[in-house]
Structures are given as structure tokens and as C-alpha cells.
Amino acid sequence: MEGRGTEGRSSPAQLGNPPSLPGPGAVGYTLPPARFFNEDILFCIDVGPETMVEMKVAAGPNGRPFTRLESIKQAILLFINAKLTINPDHRFAFAALTKTFSWLRKEFSSEVDSATAALQGISVDSSSSHADLTQLLRVAAHEAKKSRAQSRIFRVILLYCRSSVSPQYKLPTTQKLFTLDVVYLHDKPGPDNCPQKVYDTLVEALEHLLSHPQQRCVQDDFDVPKTLTKRSPPAESAPVDENAIVSIQ
């Protein structure tokens, strides 16, 4: 068919303005090619009673607000799909945080259907009065050794929802084998809530287990930690959201 050949086509240099060349004495910059590292990612989801708090900014098809747990499930599935689009060799496993750590699905898998099934099996523990991360960190250190033997990065993503319960933890005595990210969903500060104290405790743990440098932005450009009580109000008047979301990386 006429017009399908290469003759007569414009080369990239002919389209638009020609690329600018470095000036006299300037050194050209090239970005070296790099492959995507395979990751084993363990999601640990807080299933304490505060995960059932409704998110006023997010509503389902029937108009009922999503709970924090429902929002977490949706966010995880979006994250997994995005990660597998970038690299289909990433793998995922799931755990729950009640008073301590417990597995939801121990086998790491790249199957989205398997992740969906694991998330659907989550149940809330209304009796969780405290949270101990020690077993989570020990398990992560153990599993990370297996991942490192396969030249894979091991990463823990903790989703924490308690506004008045600071997590307890003892760091593993082994060398740093894995990295930790936390997403913290909490209520506003009040007589029964101390999200700033909880936030500070999480930051202490993160200082020892920051995420892998290739997974983080330049830290000089990342202004954390912030004091939650000193955040400036938005310029435009809007309904106040009682369910703030803070991402710690």
C-alpha cells in the first residue's frame, strides 16, 4: 500500500526544533542504562478495630463511604498492578498485624488473582489493644535472606491505622537485609488520640530501615518528618477530613 514505506518519512531530528548541543567546554550528560530490580514485597496490614473507620472522602457505588480497610485493599491492588506493569517479575506476600504478626499468605507470587484472594480473606480483630512489630521484623529478616540469595530486593510495606496505640518493636540483631515503608492512616489529634506520638515512633523505626535508595526520591527534596499539628490549613475553605493519610518513605 502506498505511503507505508520508509521513504519520505521525517527523521526524529526533522520534527520540531533540532536538539540543542552543549556549548563550548560543556560536558554532555548521558544516563547509563539500568535494569529494574526484582522485588519481593511483604504487605503487613493493620487489622485492628480502627481499620473499620469510614473514609469520608471515598465512597463506593452505593454512596456508602469506604472503610480504611476497604481503601487499603483497593490501594494495594492498584499498587500491585502498577508494579507488575513495570516489571512482571515482582512478587508479593501478605500478613496481618493484630497484637502481633501473622501470615495471610506466606508464598510470594506475581499472580494478581492470588493477591485478591489473600486480601478478601482479611478479618478485623476488634480485641487488638497493642501492636508489636518485633515478629514482623524478625520474619522479614529471615525471608530477606532467601530473596537476597536470588538477587532480589526484599521490602516490607506496613499499613498502620491506630491513632492512640504506638507500636512496640525490637530491631533484628542481624545486618540490614530488608527495607521498610509505612503508610499511616489516623484520626485527628484529640483527648483519646495521639497520632503525633505514633508517627514519631514509626519514624524511629524507619530511620533504621529506610527503603532502598533506588525506591526513594532524593532525601534533600523530601521534607520529613513533619509535625502534624503545625500543618498550614488549605487556602480554600473545604470540609475538614477527619481521616488524614500520611505516607512515610
The whole-number average pLDDT for the span 116-130 is 88
Peptide bond into 225 cis (omega under 30): yes
Residue 235, classed as helix, strand or coil, is coil
Q: How many CB atoms lie within 10 A of CB 40?
A: 22
Q: Which of 65-69, 182-186, 188-192 has the lowest mean pLDDT?
A: 188-192
Average pLDDT, the chain: 77
The whole-number average pLDDT for the span 98-123 is 94
CATH of the domain at 88: 3.40.50.410
Residue 157, classed as helix, strand or coil, is strand
pLDDT value of residue 194 = 85
What domain range is 111 assigned to?
39-216+241-248
* Residue 12 included in any domain: no
DSSP structure class, residue 151:
T
User: What's the structural domain count of the chain?
Assistant: 1
* Residue 109 included in any domain: yes
* Residue 23 included in any domain: no
Question: What confidence tier does 136 reach under pLDDT thresholds 50, 70, 90?
Answer: very high
pLDDT > 50? residue 8:
no
* Residue 104 included in any domain: yes
* Residue 33 included in any domain: no
**Which residue pairs from 5-8 have beta carbons closer than 8 angstroms and sit at least 24 positions apart in sequence?**
none
* Residue 101 included in any domain: yes
* Residue 76 included in any domain: yes
The whole-number average pLDDT for the span 171-182 is 81
Instruction: For 94-109, write each residue's pLDDT tens digit.
Output: 999 999 999 999 999 9
Instruction: Find where cell 500520611 sits.
Output: 246
Widest pairwise Cα distance in the chain: 76
Q: Which of 24-38, 78-92, 153-167 has the lowest mean pLDDT?
A: 24-38
pLDDT value of residue 209 = 72
* Residue 165 included in any domain: yes
Instruction: For 192-230, write each residue's pLDDT tens digit.
Output: 888 888 888 888 887 767 544 555 555 555 555 555 444
Instruction: For 146-159, write each residue's pLDDT tens digit.
Output: 999 999 999 999 99
Q: State phi, psi for 240 to the nearest 5 degrees.
A: -80, 130
Q: Up-side HSE of residue 238: CA atoms within 13 Å toward CB?
A: 8
pLDDT > 60? residue 181:
yes
